[in-house]
Amino acid sequence: MAARPMTRQLLTGRLERTLPPDWDLAKRVFDDSKRFFLEHGLDADEAYAMAMTSSELLENAVKYGDWSRDAAEQITYLAEIEGRAVTVEVQSPVADDPGALRKLDDQIQWIRGFQSPFEAYVERLKLLSSQPYREGQSGLGLIRIAYEARGLVDFYVTPDRRLAMSAVYQPSGLFP
């Protein structure tokens, strides 16, 4: 008799934070989100991967957000578990720069163009290793989310000009 695959059910939940654009908050968001994911049914590896996703998206929001418009602007962080999906979304103000949005879209499409995110990860590492070290944009953050967290990365611009970056993860072994 074949062993029956283990099934589980996630607990529906939502973790929301409004945060200033501060690099030092990434560790706190990592810890808070990891605890949230564990409490809602993700295993330790999944919770770590989604906490890493949270941290990467938050760091991108701090790094690339348009903080020149309004000093009081904040980052909106949301982790949500509903049904069979885990979603992490981070919103930050976006500059009126179609070129930057096109570059972001190109990077996401580049990742999706591979058979697997692992192949994109290896290609990016090869590219980085063939160039002199430069501080700044390695392009690994979104690829890590796709590969390590098995997240589907996407973005949209809200009507009030905020960039919403998200990653959706669908754990296996869940009750239908």
When mean pLDDT is compared across 50-64, 111-125, 129-143, 155-169, the lowest value belongs to 129-143
List the alpha helices (DSSP H) in 113-163: 117-129, 140-148
What percentage of the chain carries pLDDT values higher than 70?
90
User: What confidence score (pLDDT) does residue 71 get?
Assistant: 74
The residue ranges of DSSP E strands in 12-122, in sequence order, are 13-19, 75-82, 85-93
Over residues 47-89, the pLDDT tens digits come to 999 999 999 999 999 988 888 877 788 999 999 999 889 999 9
CA distance 164 to 171: 22
- What pLDDT is stored for residue 174 in this prediction? 60
| Domain 13-169 homologous superfamily, CATH | Histidine kinase-like ATPase, C-terminal domain (3.30.565.10)
* Reported confidence tier of residue 138, pLDDT bands at 50, 70, 90: low
Say yes or no to pLDDT of 5 above 60. Answer: no
Integer-rounded Cα Rg, in Å, for the chain is 17
Task: Give me the amino acid identity at 84.
Answer: R
pTM for this entry? 0.87
pLDDT reading at 40 higher than 80? yes
**Gap between the Cα atoms of 88 and 78, Å rounded:** 6
